[in-house]
Structure 1
Amino acid sequence: MTMYTDPRQPVKARVADLLARMTPEEKFAQMGAMWLVLSPEGFHKERLDMSDTFSGATQQIALAEQLKKGIGQITRPLGTHSVSPREGVMAANRLQKTLVEESRLGIPALFHEECLVGVLCKDATLFPSPLNYASTWDPQLINAVAGAIGREARAIGCHQGLAPVLDVSRDVRWGRTEETFGEDPYLVGVMATQYVKGLQGPNRDLLATLKHYAGHSFSEGARNHAPVHLGFCELNDTFLLPFEMAVRLANAGSVMPAYHDIDNQPTHSDTFLLTRVLRDQWGFDGLIVADYGGVSLLHQHHGVSHSPMESAAQAFNAGLDIELPKADCASHLAEAVAEGLITMDKIDEIVSRVLTEKFRLGLFEHPYADLDKLALQEPETRSLARECAARSVTMLENNGILPLTDTPSLAVIGPVADDPLALLSGYSFPVHLIISDAQEQADQVVTLLAGIRQQFGENRVRYAKGCHIIEHRQAGAPVFPGESEGKPRQSSPVSQDTSLIPEAVSAAQQADVVIACVGDLAGLFQSGTCGEGSDTDTLALPGVQQALLEALVHTGKPVIVVMTGGRPYHLGGLEQQVAALLMAWAPGQEGGHAVADILAGNREPEGRLVLSAPKSAGAMPYYYNHKLKSGGTPYAFHFGARYPFGFGLGWGDFVLDQAELHEATLPAQGGTINIALSVTNRGVRSGSEVIQLYVHDKVASLVRPVKELKAFHRVRLAPGATTRLTISVPTDMLNFTNKMGQRVVEPGEFELMLGTNSDAIQQCVTVNLTGDKPVVLARDWRMLSHTEETAG
Structure 2
Amino acid sequence: MSLEHTTEVAVYRRADAPTEQRVADLLARMTLDEKIAQLHAAWLKLSADGDHKARSIDFAQSANSLTVDQILEHGLGQITRPLGTHTVDPKEGVRALNELQRKMIEDTRLGIPVMSHEECLVGLMIKDATLFPSPLNYAATWNPSLVGEVGRIIGEQARSIGCHQGLAPVLDVSRDPRWGRTEETLGEDPYLVGVLAFHYVNGLQGERRDVLATLKHFVGHSASEGARNHAPVHVGPRELNDVFLLPFEMAVKLAHAGSIMPAYHDIDGVPCHGDRALLHDTLREKWGFEGLVVADYAAVDLLYSHHAVAHDSASAAALAFNSGLDVELPGHECAVHLKEALERGEITEATIDTAVSRVLRTKFQLGLFENPYVDPERVDVKGTAAADTAYQVALESAVLLRNEGGVLPLQADGAQKIAVIGPTADDPLALLAGYSFPVHLINSGEQSVASIATPLGALRALLGEERVLHAKGCDIIKERRAGAPVFPGDVSLDLSGSANRDELISEDTEGIAPAVAAARAAGVAIVFVGDLAGLFQSGTVGEGSDTDSLELPGVQLQLLTAVVESGTPTVVVMTGGRPYNLGGLEDRIAAQIMAFAPGERGAEALADLLVGRANFSGRMPLSVPKSAGAVPYVYNHRLKSAGTPIAYHFGSRYPFGFGLGYAPFRYSDLALAQREVPLEDGTVELSFTVENIGERDGTEIVQIYVRDQHASVARPVRELKAFARVPLAAGAKARVRVTLPVDMLNFTDARGERIVEPGDFDLMVGSSSRDIHLRGTVTVAGNAVRTLPRDWRMLSAVEVVS
Q: Give TM class, smaller chain.
A: over 0.9
For each residue in 1:72-123, what CA deviation from the matched residue of structure 2 results, as whole angstroms up to 9, or x when unmatched? 0010001111111111111111111111111111111100000000000000
Give the one of 69, 76, 94 matched to 1:71: 76
The equivalent residue for 1:729 is 740
* TM-score, length basis structure 1: 0.98
What one-letter code is carried by the residue in structure 2 that aligns with 1:158?
C
What one-letter code is carried by the residue in structure 1 that aligns with 2:44?
L
Q: Within 5 Å, give how 1:362-761 maps onto structure 2.
A: 362-399=367-404, 400-405=406-411, 406-407=413-414, 408-435=416-443, 437-474=444-481, 475-478=483-486, 480-482=490-492, 487=497, 489-492=499-502, 493-761=504-772
For each residue in 1:394-426, what CA deviation from the matched residue of structure 2 results, as whole angstroms up to 9, or x when unmatched? 000101111113522211111111111110011
Q: Within 5 Å, give how 1:137-152 maps onto structure 2.
A: 137-152=142-157
The equivalent residue for 1:214 is 219
Aligned-partner Cα distance in 2 for 1:629–1:145: 39
2:53 is equivalent to residue 45 of structure 1:
yes
For each residue in 1:477-508, what CA deviation from the matched residue of structure 2 results, as whole angstroms up to 9, or x when unmatched? 22733476765753431111101111111222
Aligned-partner Cα distance in 2 for 1:707–1:56: 48
2:276 is equivalent to residue 265 of structure 1:
no
Aligned-partner Cα distance in 2 for 1:108–1:481: 38
For each residue in 1:137-180, what CA deviation from the matched residue of structure 2 results, as whole angstroms up to 9, or x when unmatched? 00000000111111111111111000000000010000000000
**Conserved 8 A contact 1:300-1:482:** no
Aligned-partner Cα distance in 1 for 2:60–2:346: 22
The equivalent residue for 1:113 is 118
* TM-score, length basis structure 2: 0.97
Aligned-partner Cα distance in 2 for 1:462–1:325: 48
Aligned-partner Cα distance in 2 for 1:165–1:433: 20
Aligned-partner Cα distance in 1 for 2:460–2:48: 42
**Conserved 8 A contact 1:417-1:517:** yes
Aligned-partner Cα distance in 2 for 1:137–1:450: 28
> Residue 667 of structure 1: CA displacement?
1.0
Secondary structure class of the residue paired with 2:12? coil
**Conserved 8 A contact 1:146-1:196:** yes
For each residue in 1:551-594, what CA deviation from the matched residue of structure 2 results, as whole angstroms up to 9, or x when unmatched? 11111111111110000001111112111111110000001101
Q: Within 5 Å, give how 1:301-380 maps onto structure 2.
A: 301-380=306-385
**Conserved 8 A contact 2:707-2:716:** yes
For each residue in 1:589-642, what CA deviation from the matched residue of structure 2 results, as whole angstroms up to 9, or x when unmatched? 001101001011111111000010111111101100000000111111000001
2:261 is equivalent to residue 256 of structure 1:
yes
2:299 is equivalent to residue 294 of structure 1:
yes
Aligned-partner Cα distance in 1 for 2:484–2:733: 58
Aligned-partner Cα distance in 2 for 1:113–1:543: 34
Give the one of 177, 184, 196 matched to 1:191: 196
Aligned-partner Cα distance in 1 for 2:601–2:14: 46
> Residue 459 of structure 1: CA displacement?
2.1
* Percentage of matched positions with identical amino acids: 56
Q: How many residues align?
A: 787
Secondary structure class of the residue paired with 2:226? helix
In angstroms, what is the RMSD of aligned CA positions? 1.2
Aligned-partner Cα distance in 1 for 2:271–2:492: 17
Change (3 A) 1:613 1:486: closer
The equivalent residue for 1:155 is 160
**Conserved 8 A contact 1:301-1:481:** no
**Conserved 8 A contact 1:268-1:295:** yes
Secondary structure class of the residue paired with 2:13? coil
The equivalent residue for 1:772 is 783
Aligned-partner Cα distance in 1 for 2:776–2:499: 56
Secondary structure class of the residue paired with 2:669? strand
2:229 is equivalent to residue 227 of structure 1:
no
Secondary structure class of the residue paired with 1:386? helix
The equivalent residue for 2:793 is 782
Structure 2 residue runs of 5 or longer lacking an equivalent are 1-8
What one-letter code is carried by the residue in structure 2 that aligns with 1:456?
L
For each residue in 1:34-89, what CA deviation from the matched residue of structure 2 results, as whole angstroms up to 9, or x when unmatched? 0011111111111123xx2x347312312112212001001000111111111111
> Residue 781 of structure 1: CA displacement?
0.2
Secondary structure class of the residue paired with 1:499? coil
**Conserved 8 A contact 2:390-2:601:** yes
The equivalent residue for 1:21 is 29
Aligned-partner Cα distance in 2 for 1:485–1:588: 36
Give the one of 161, 170, 189 matched to 2:175: 170
Aligned-partner Cα distance in 1 for 2:498–2:366: 48
> Residue 715 of structure 1: CA displacement?
1.2
**Conserved 8 A contact 1:611-1:645:** yes
The equivalent residue for 2:6 is none
Aligned-partner Cα distance in 2 for 1:488–1:548: 29
For each residue in 1:258-277, what CA deviation from the matched residue of structure 2 results, as whole angstroms up to 9, or x when unmatched? 00001111000110110011
Aligned-partner Cα distance in 1 for 2:401–2:496: 47
**Conserved 8 A contact 1:651-1:688:** no
Aligned-partner Cα distance in 1 for 2:484–2:378: 38
The equivalent residue for 2:4 is none
Change (3 A) 1:488 1:347: closer
Moved over 4 A (4+): 483-489
Aligned-partner Cα distance in 1 for 2:756–2:585: 45
54-63 vs 622-631, greater mean Cα deviation: 54-63
> Residue 370 of structure 1: CA displacement?
1.1
Aligned-partner Cα distance in 2 for 1:151–1:199: 8
Structure 1 residue runs of 5 or longer lacking an equivalent are none
> Residue 720 of structure 1: CA displacement?
2.5
**Conserved 8 A contact 1:645-1:758:** yes
What one-letter code is carried by the residue in structure 2 that aligns with 1:126?
L
Change (3 A) 1:306 1:481: farther
Aligned-partner Cα distance in 1 for 2:159–2:294: 20
Change (3 A) 1:309 1:482: farther
641-650 vs 488-497, greater mean Cα deviation: 488-497
